[in-house]
Amino acid sequence: MKLIFVFLLASSVILTINAQPVKMYGQLKVVGTQLTGANNTSVVLNGMSFGWSCFHPRFYTAGAVSTLAKDWNCSVVRAALGVEPANGYLQDSAKSMKLITTVVDAAIKEGIYVIIDWHSHNINLKEARAFFKTMATKYHSYPNIIYELYNEPDYETWPEVKVYSIDLISTIRKIDTANIILVGSPRWDQDVHLQADDPIKGFNNLMYTMHFYAGTHKQWLRDRTDAAIAKGLPIFISESAGMDATGDGKLDEEEWNKYIQWMAEKKLSWITWSVSDKDESCSVLRQSASSDGSWADKDLKESGLKTRAYLRKIKQ
């Protein structure tokens, strides 16, 4: 009898570890400033962003998604649709859509959440509208889906980004009335204080993105984000990493740890950049890494080893 009890207890632990986040949390919603599950409990998503689809298409595979879900403990992945560069959406929409839907379909199969990210630094309203209409039509019935309208506005003002965002939110909500929508923040997703003073009204389940790179963005950005949250702005950290904002340079582990601790205390979801093998410190993979996942330690750069360690410590 004792052996049976031990076996059942062990089985329960294994099931808990391997539980699929979407089965656990279901349809996400925003309550106040907090991302929340269908059972009204707070939800914190943690995971990886794929690199630009136009630059690193070889990792846009079901195998890579499976590895991130099962080995890295990601509860969410981000599919970053390259828009303007060569081989991006504006040049080859069919190829770009195939890459994104491969990741989205794999995330749904793995039972994790997935961010469909319009990865651009510029306003392309007509093209973005058509893209999100297609995505919402295809995936509106899946609670796995999160829409990110604008990766990083750079020099656009908040009034410009706000008008753009309202148009796209309206487009999505005509088809998908429930899934979370992420709104980009001016100046590479640092100026969340502008949105806190003038948020979008009239829609549900919106969150606003903040991005940080620990080597560049210090306590001032955490303070600014705290102030925005205090004013009622729901924040989702859809891109972050431990080095300089250039994506390169040495990891600032002390500052990165401060961010990790701060996000845990504030119950903020976060994504690390990126699943790619570019010769820079923010790309977590080496060129030896297989396109289909199952990466060994030798295939990971320092940022990859550290991010995976962070993710593995998180209990779903």
pLDDT digit string, tens, across residues 146-186: 999 999 999 999 999 999 999 999 999 999 999 999 999 99
pLDDT tens, 93-117? 999 999 999 999 999 999 999 999 9
What is the pLDDT, as a whole number, of residue 130? 98
**pTM higher than the cut 0.85:** yes
- Judge whether residue 47 has pLDDT over 50: yes
239 catalytically annotated:
yes
How far apart CA 99 and CA 109 sit, in angstroms, is 16
- Judge whether residue 264 has pLDDT over 70: yes
Q: How confident is the model at residue 316 (pLDDT cuts 50, 70, 90)?
A: low
Q: Which of 110, 152, 156, 255 is catalytic?
A: 152
**Domain ranges, ordered by start, for the chain:** 43-313
280 catalytically annotated:
no
Task: Give SS3 for 281.
Answer: coil
Residue (of 127, 130, 132, 129) closest to 115 by Cα position? 132
Q: Furthest-apart CA pair in the chain: how many Å?
A: 67
pLDDT tens, 15-44? 334 579 999 999 999 999 999 999 999 999
What is the pLDDT, as a whole number, of residue 315? 78
Pick the CATH number of 43-313 from 3.20.20.80, 3.90.420.10, 3.40.50.300, 3.90.105.10: 3.20.20.80
- Judge whether residue 11 has pLDDT over 90: no
> How much is the CA Rg of the chain, to the nearest whole Å?
19
Q: Which of 110, 148, 156, 239 is catalytic?
A: 239
67 or 8: which carries more pLDDT confidence? 67
